[in-house]
Amino acid sequence: MPEVEAAAEVEGGVAEVAAEEATPEDEPGEAEPESGQLAEREGQHGDAGGQHGDGEGQLADGEGQLADADGQEAEAEQDGEDAELVALQSRMPDLTEPAALESALEALLLVVDSPASEESLAEAVEQPVDRVTEAFKTMSARFTEHGSGIDLRRVGEGWRFFTRDTYAPFVEKLLLDGQRSKLTRAALETLAVIAYRQPVTRARVAAVRGVNVDGVIRTLLARGLIEETGTDPETGGNLYVTTELFLERLGLPSLNDLPPIAPLLPEVDAIDDI
């Protein structure tokens, strides 16, 4: 009997070992939670990807709205500029009318420093050159007929307003009243350039001095110290020379008796290179 019990114990131990070895394969329930967790994480990752896609879509929508706003603003600005241009054009006079064209030409001549050509003025008023030429002739004749103090003359290749000689004494009185005692430094320098380089144009005098000399030239003309003597064949500008009064005021018999300072001034031919 002891042998039978021993055999039974051996069989029981073998069965227990077999049961222990089979347990890992026969317990799928423990692996299932791990698979579920993996699936859950994959689902969460998918949700995050979807949210990221939604964010990119919202960003694209925002950029599109911003582009639309910029386009609307640019369109509004263009509409405003067009409206201003239309309003300006509506206020401009109709230069196809002779009176309006003459008024426009008068305004232009008041701001030029030298005779203005018919071509440049025609371009400014956007009218044919022939119309501008005819308008100037009409204006000049009207000023003369009415005895106007303004004299419109064609000088060289252009037109310019001048003071009519009849009223020169009044102009002289206005410009020179209380100023006859002495000339300004600017006037003396301008007079020196004319004296030593005469005949010379206003533009070349200005080139030597490096400043505008229109006002000074008018003063010297009004005082009788210089005068016009024809026009420059190249530029059409008026040429200026000194007068007998100039020599009288300096106490000189002729220009040959001027002090020898001419070498200090550049030659007329070289003035254009300054």
C-alpha distance from residue 12 to each of 8, 19, 152 (Å): 6, 11, 142
Please, are residues 125 and 95 in contact by the beta-carbon 8 Å criterion? yes
In this prediction, residue 73 carries a pLDDT of: 74
User: Low-confidence residues of the chain, pLDDT below 50?
Assistant: 4, 6-7, 10, 14, 17-18, 22-32, 262, 268-274
Are both 218 and 234 inside the same structural domain? yes
Estimate to the nearest angstrom the gap between the alpha carbon of 213 and the chain centroid.
27
Q: Residue 268: its pLDDT value, please?
A: 45
pLDDT of residue 141: 95
Count helices and strands (H / E) in the chain: 11, 5
Domain-embedded: residue 47 = no
Q: What is the CATH number of the domain that holds 244?
A: 1.10.10.10
Residues 193 and 246 in one domain: yes
Is 119 among the domain residues? yes
How many CA atoms are closer than 13 Å to the CA of 235, on its beta-carbon side? 12
* 266 and 205 share one domain: yes
- Does the model's pTM come out above 0.85? no
Indicate if 180 and 152 belong to the same structural domain. Answer: no
The torsion angles phi and psi of 82, rounded to 5 degrees, stand at -65, -40
Number of domains in the chain: 2
Parent domain of 250:
169-271
In a domain, 87, yes or no: no
In a domain? residue 193 = yes
CB atoms under 10 Å from CB of 241, counted, come to 16
Burial 209-224 (b: 16+ CB within 10 A, else e): eeeebeebbebbbbbb
The verdict on 117 and 203 lying in the same domain is no
Last residue within a domain, chosen from 163, 197, 216: 163
Q: What is the pLDDT of residue 85?
A: 60
For residue 199, is it within any domain? Answer: yes
User: What pLDDT, on the 0 to 100 scale, is given for residue 226?
Assistant: 95
**Three-state DSSP class for 141?**
helix
With CA atoms as reference, report the closest residue to 269 among 181, 182, 207: 207
The reported pLDDT for the residue numbered 48 is 56
Last residue of a domain, one of 144, 163, 182: 163
Angle among Cα 152, 158, 164 to the nearest 5 degrees reads 20
- pLDDT confidence of residue 198: 93
